[in-house]
Amino acid sequence: MKFVWRHTLLLMWMAFAAAAFASQSIPAVVGSDAVNRASTPDTDEPSVSKQAREKLRRLTGPSDASTQALQSGFVKLKRLCEFGTSTQNNTDYNPPLIAARTRNELSLLTRSLEKVTNDYRQTSRISTLASCKFMPALFLLSGACQGFQEDTQRLQQAEQSAKRLVAQAQVRLDLYDQYLELEHQGCTRPGFARKLWASEEANLWPLLLEAPSVFKLSLPPQPAN
């Protein structure tokens, strides 16, 4: 049991370390489909749009990778623990693993992202060409309403990506608490859950808090004509 336990923890550390490293370097391959959905490819797009797309990749890739690594590691570890664990240890639950400040940051992030998308809805061609929403589908692909359609699609993609980031962040916070519970049951060494969270807190969480500015850059106001 001890050999399998150590082997599993090693695999978990390798997977999570790779995800954490990705947050500081090039975009992670995991989650590339989600990144592509977050921006519309355009060979003639301005440099600002290209910069926004690159920042979105650096944001969504590590989030996807870290969430998957944590979920996979937890499932494997929990399965091993079901075969028998040692007696409960004295894991300290005070202060809690995830501070109230961190959970408040996630709430503020959610509201900030909603404000970014709502502001874009009001300042883009979605608002200035609002009458296009009543036009036939074929008419949306030509003339002035093409701009309305482009901005609508851009907003929908951004909203989907923003909701995904927030949902994944909440999943990870919950997972850290579940890791702490396994630690309390004697499945891992004391401090293991805190080390996992410390890795995210130092590498991925600061990146996540930059999301509003990244999404604002990817949703520039567009002229009505």
DSSP for 20-35 reads: HHHTTSSPPSTTHHHH
C-alpha count within 13 angstroms, C-beta hemisphere, residue 33: 0
3-state helix, strand, coil in the chain (%, to 5): 75, 0, 25
Q: Let me know if residue 225 belongs to a domain.
A: no
| Cβ atoms of 20 and 203 closer than 8 Å | yes
Residue 10 belongs to a domain: yes
Domain annotation covers residue 44: yes
Residue 93 in contact with residue 43, Cβ under 8 Å? Answer: no
Residue 124's pLDDT is 92
Q: Which of 87, 98, 97 is closest to 185 using CA atoms? A: 87
- d(CA 146, CA 160) in angstroms, rounded, equals 21
Any domain includes 162 = yes
Q: Is residue 120 part of a domain?
A: yes
Neighbours of 181 (CB within 10 A): 15
Per-residue pLDDT of the chain (225 residues), as tens digits, is 443 444 444 445 444 544 444 444 323 323 333 333 333 344 444 555 677 777 788 888 999 999 999 999 999 999 888 876 555 554 455 668 999 999 999 999 999 999 999 999 999 999 988 888 887 666 656 677 888 888 998 999 899 999 999 999 999 999 999 999 999 888 888 999 999 999 999 999 999 999 999 999 889 866 545
Q: What pLDDT does 48 receive? A: 52
Please check whether residue 150 lies inside any domain of the structure. Answer: yes
**pLDDT score at 130:** 87
Q: Of 152, 151, 159, 153, which is closest to residue 116 (Cα–Cα)?
A: 159
- Domain containing residue 109: 2-87+98-218
Give me the number of domains the chain comprises: 1
pTM summary value: 0.75
Q: Classify residue 224: in a domain, yes or no.
A: no
pLDDT at 41: 40
Is there a contact between 42 and 99 (Cβ–Cβ < 8 Å)?
A: no
Tokens of 121: 């809805």
Structure token digits, residue 50: 């290209």
Q: Classify residue 93: in a domain, yes or no.
A: no
